[in-house]
Structure 1
Amino acid sequence: MLKNFKKDRCYIIAEIGGNFVTFDEAKKLVDLAYESGVDAVKLQTYRADTIVTKTAKFDLDNVGEMVQHELFEKYQIDFALHKKVFDYIDSKGLDWFSTPSHKTDVDMLDELGVSAHKLGADDATNLPFIQYVASTNKPILLSSGMCTLEEVREMINACLVMGNDKIILFHTVSNYPTYPEQVNLLAMQTLKREFPFLTVGFSDHTIGSTACFAAACMGAEVVEKHFTYDKNADGPDHQLSANPQEMKEIVDRIREFEVMKGSGAKKPVGKEITNRAKNRKSIVTIKPIKKGELLSMENIDIKRPGHGIEPKYFDQILGKRADKDLKEDEVLSWSDLS
């Protein structure tokens, strides 16, 4: 299970897969992610020979056109490096898991003791693989990038038919990078309405921190963001990753929002309770009034403070008589009237 996941706060994941090939690079990323305040660090687990043919090509804004197998071969990491990185993440008190791309990846990750599996958008329609991952009965984080709503339903049902309902569903746009006009955060709310029994979040591929913060404000229970120590470093995902300053900003702004959103009950809080009496208005005298004299527009008005008769009763007390002598500028109370 994800030990840092709590229902009443947004769970924030730093994705470092594809942004390192050595332990020292990974350690640096983990240290910076920890300092940023995230809840979890995620890797990517694949082997070039099992994820792609040798002829398939990328045509993405962040890497241009290139042979996919070459890129995956460069950034694939072995069992030993997985274990070393996972152990280090665990030592920092962060959750750790990965995105497998093949059944053999799932088996290796389970051998390493991962607490959850994340499935990438490339496998959103790979129902046999989804069912294989769901059969581990671990929490499964599903990316809906490139999906129609019907494909999302099929993906979820593939998990449910295996008896696994521990699902976190991400709204994702699989453009690298994703431009503001493509983010479509309302689609995340559509997922929340369509699947109210699921935890729904946002996996971000935009540049900057705005989308993650906006998603949290719009109800994302989980936010995932690629993370780097240097946007100009060599690798496919550094450009669209958050740097340490941006990730800390994401975490801090989301945590501040969580405090700000409150309970939803509309009632006075803090100094408002005393400010009601000091800063609201009451019915007051505007000239001396003798005992027995009628209250009228000529001798009463509405002014601060607010500890007397409320203004909404103004018409009701017109024509009533003073029960005692009243001075000018005196705040009226019901005991002053007869």
Structure 2
Amino acid sequence: MFLKDRVYIIAEIGGNFTTFDEAKKLIDTARDCGVDAVKLQTYRADTIASREAMFDMENTGICSQKELFRKYEIGKELHKEVFSYIEAQGLDWFSTPSHESDVDMLEELGVKMHKIGSDDATNLPFLRYVARTRKPILLSTGMCTMSEVREAVDAIVGEGNPDLVLLHAVTSYPTHPEDVNLAAMQAMKREFPEISIGYSDHTIGTTACLCAAVMGARVIEKHFTYDKQAEGPDHMLSADPKEMRFLVQGIREFEQMRGAGIKMPAKGERTTRLNNRKSVVLTADKKAGARLSADDLAVKRPGTGIAPKFLEQLVGRRLVRDLEADAVLRWEDLQ
């Protein structure tokens, strides 16, 4: 599922649809953008939030969490229909469960991996429950300290499930540039060198995701919408089709550009190494037997002759044949 040299790109559509037709439109467009997977959010208002829980964020304003979740929760049959359609498009599918009953439902539907949101990153009993499915886990770490990330890792791995990806995230909607802190992603990689690291994004635009890929993210998750002005809290911070296509193409181009990390001439430099480098040449016509002085020698293109680093070694050598000015010297021309 995750390839060593290829960033895994997820279009998160949870919260951006409530009907199959809306989901289908998102899936079709995400497929055309070239993503690897489409992800949902699986929750029920009654099990994710109490009556006292409130939102107070830019994208929601102040409102009841339970009422907002109730508005966007989707049932098992719609999950099944949407997952089936995603798979038919040749894309991976999975979801973010928020309760043990959500996990059970996703397991019944045949999910191949689970995403755990930042809100449950310190919910150790839940982490252990998900870990016992023995499915790969993507864990968002928004709001976490490093010690809390360690506790989460220990809980999951301690259940015998090492198939884990840690996602740096910032639980602000939207996340502003000064809060992104992509270096924390690399800090987690240093802390957990055996675990793959990725980035779950809540910024507006694609810059953070592109930078995260360059900085070593193996997984990129980005909210996705067909219309930033659509009703719903996540549309404003989601990538639209133009942005997602730009993001996917940018990451794939980066992967081509990244190379193997060995400093060596590129294939395209095989000819230019000869044409654009320089060699030692004669400054004037010279006869066979002539002894070369420093004034007889210059350095010019092309690089098909004796390299300039040997210039001083040529002073005092004799020519074995007549040569004209600008002739590129080769070792066989000298004695």
- TM superposition score category, shorter chain reference: over 0.9
1:59 aligns with 2:56: yes
Pairwise CA distance, 1:29: 0.6
After superposition, what is the alpha-carbon deviation per residue over 1:80-105, rounded to whole angstroms, capped at 9, x for unaligned? Answer: 00000000001001000000000000
Q: For residues 279 and 146 of structure 1, what CA distance do their matches in structure 2 show? A: 54
Q: For residues 207 and 268 of structure 2, what CA distance do their matches in structure 1 show? A: 32
Pairwise CA distance, 1:245: 0.6
Deviates more, 1:246-255 or 1:295-304: 295-304
2:176 paired residue number: 179
1:104 paired residue number: 101
Pairwise CA distance, 1:186: 0.8
Q: For residues 87 and 273 of structure 2, what CA distance do their matches in structure 1 show? A: 50
Q: For residues 123 and 244 of structure 1, what CA distance do their matches in structure 2 show? A: 30
How many pairs were matched up? Answer: 335
Q: For residues 57 and 328 of structure 1, what CA distance do their matches in structure 2 show? A: 85
Q: Structure 2: which 5+ residue stretches go unaligned?
A: none
Pairwise CA distance, 1:325: 2.1
2:74 paired residue number: 77
After superposition, what is the alpha-carbon deviation per residue over 1:209-238, rounded to whole angstroms, capped at 9, x for unaligned? Answer: 111111101111000000011111111100
SS at match of 1:332: coil
* 2:67 aligned partner, one-letter code: E
Matches within 5 A, 1:278-317: 278-317=275-314
After superposition, what is the alpha-carbon deviation per residue over 1:249-281, rounded to whole angstroms, capped at 9, x for unaligned? Answer: 110000011011111222222331111111111
2:37 paired residue number: 40
Pairwise CA distance, 1:288: 1.4
> Residue 4 of structure 2: which of 4, 7, 15 is its match?
7
Q: For residues 328 and 18 of structure 1, what CA distance do their matches in structure 2 show? A: 76
Matches within 5 A, 1:317-336: 317-336=314-333
1:167 paired residue number: 164
Q: For residues 105 and 9 of structure 1, what CA distance do their matches in structure 2 show? A: 30
1:24 paired residue number: 21
Q: For residues 251 and 145 of structure 1, what CA distance do their matches in structure 2 show? A: 23
Q: For residues 336 and 103 of structure 1, what CA distance do their matches in structure 2 show? A: 82
Pairwise CA distance, 1:62: 0.7
SS at match of 2:294: coil
* 8 Å CA contact 1:121, 1:144 repeated in 2: yes
After superposition, what is the alpha-carbon deviation per residue over 1:141-164, rounded to whole angstroms, capped at 9, x for unaligned? Answer: 100000000000000110111000
> Residue 135 of structure 1: which of 127, 132, 137 is its match?
132
Pairwise CA distance, 1:41: 0.4
Matches within 5 A, 1:196-275: 196-275=193-272
> Residue 276 of structure 1: which of 273, 276, 285 is its match?
273
Q: Structure 1: which 5+ residue stretches go unaligned?
A: none
* 8 Å CA contact 1:288, 1:299 repeated in 2: no
After superposition, what is the alpha-carbon deviation per residue over 1:17-48, rounded to whole angstroms, capped at 9, x for unaligned? Answer: 00111111111111111011000000000000
1:93 aligns with 2:90: yes
CA RMSD of aligned residues (A): 0.9
Q: For residues 267 and 114 of structure 1, what CA distance do their matches in structure 2 show? A: 44
* 1:33 aligned partner, one-letter code: A
1:114 aligns with 2:104: no
* 8 Å CA contact 1:36, 1:244 repeated in 2: yes
Q: For residues 281 and 192 of structure 2, what CA distance do their matches in structure 1 show? A: 56
Pairwise CA distance, 1:246: 0.5
SS at match of 2:235: coil
SS at match of 1:264: coil
Pairwise CA distance, 1:192: 1.2
Q: For residues 255 and 158 of structure 1, what CA distance do their matches in structure 2 show? A: 34
Q: For residues 268 and 245 of structure 2, what CA distance do their matches in structure 1 show? A: 31
2:148 paired residue number: 151
Q: For residues 99 and 275 of structure 2, what CA distance do their matches in structure 1 show? A: 67
Q: For residues 77 and 304 of structure 1, what CA distance do their matches in structure 2 show? A: 69
* 1:292 aligned partner, one-letter code: G
Q: For residues 310 and 240 of structure 2, what CA distance do their matches in structure 1 show? A: 59
Q: For residues 32 and 222 of structure 1, what CA distance do their matches in structure 2 show? A: 20
